[in-house]
Each structure stands twice: as structure tokens, then as C-alpha cells.
Structure 1
Amino acid sequence: MMDIDQNRERIRAERSLQLQADLAAQNRQREAQADLYRSLSQQRIGDKSLPVCGAASGGGLDGRTGYWYGKDCRSR
């Protein structure tokens, strides 16, 4: 009976570690995407053919510059 409990606890611990690893990978992917969008938006500054990024641009607010960034827009 004790072996069954220890085995269950080991399985729970392994699942927990896997979930943590998955979340960390998702966070890294999200950060990489945000960095890409931030960079693209900065490169497009002054391109009048694209709208200025805003809260609905699907990116975020760059805390360093105070400007919004997104996938298909320019920073300012």
C-alpha cells in the first residue's frame, strides 16, 4: 500500500514539473513574440502607410519607451 502512495506522489511531482516546464516555454515564446513586435513597430516609425499602434493592436505597451507596439502597425 505504501508503494502505491509513493508511486502516486512521484507521478504527481513529475506532472507538476512538466506543467512548470510547459508554462516556462510558453512564457519564453510570448516574450520572443513581444520582442519581435516591439522591434518591428520601432522599425516602422514614420511609415505613414501603417496605422499608429494602440491598445487594440495585439501587442502591448513598451515600458521603456511608453509607446504601444503590435504586429501590423508603427510605434509612432
Structure 2
Amino acid sequence: MLNKQRVPLIDNSIIEQALGKYGISCLADIEHTSVGPHFKKITNFGGPFELSKTKGGLQGRKHLTRMEEIP
């Protein structure tokens, strides 16, 4: 999130602009940041995200409730 606005991450320059002062310049740097003094600021940068629905839904797939049903 930049300035409290949702911005699509289409380019690493967006990440570098927002998190460059913490040594983060690309999405891979965010993925490899597991601990550190700026962890909270880096994880808050991403904010909540949405996943798109599957195209065509889950047609033809049976809902599984027990592990032994998985082939």
C-alpha cells in the first residue's frame, strides 16, 4: 500500500520506492525477509490481498472431507 492506497505491484520500482530505505528492492527481497528490525513495516506494505475466483468454478470436482478419499 502506498499512501494508504492499493496499488498493483506491476514493477519492482514500486517496491523499491516504498521500501528501498529498508534495503528492499524487489518482490524476492520481501519473500526472503523473515525477521529483522523492519519486519512489521515490510509485511504491512503488502496489506491484505484478494485472490481471483477460479475460471469455470470447481465443476466436476467432488468435495473431499476425509484424507483417505484422496487418490
Q: What is the TM-score when the length of structure 1 is the normalising length?
A: 0.18
Q: Which of structures 1 and 2 has the larger relative contact order (alpha carbons within 8 angstroms, sep 6+)?
A: 1
The structure whose residues are more often helix, as a share, is 1
> Quick check: which has more Rg, 1 or 2?
1
- More strand per residue: 1 or 2? 1
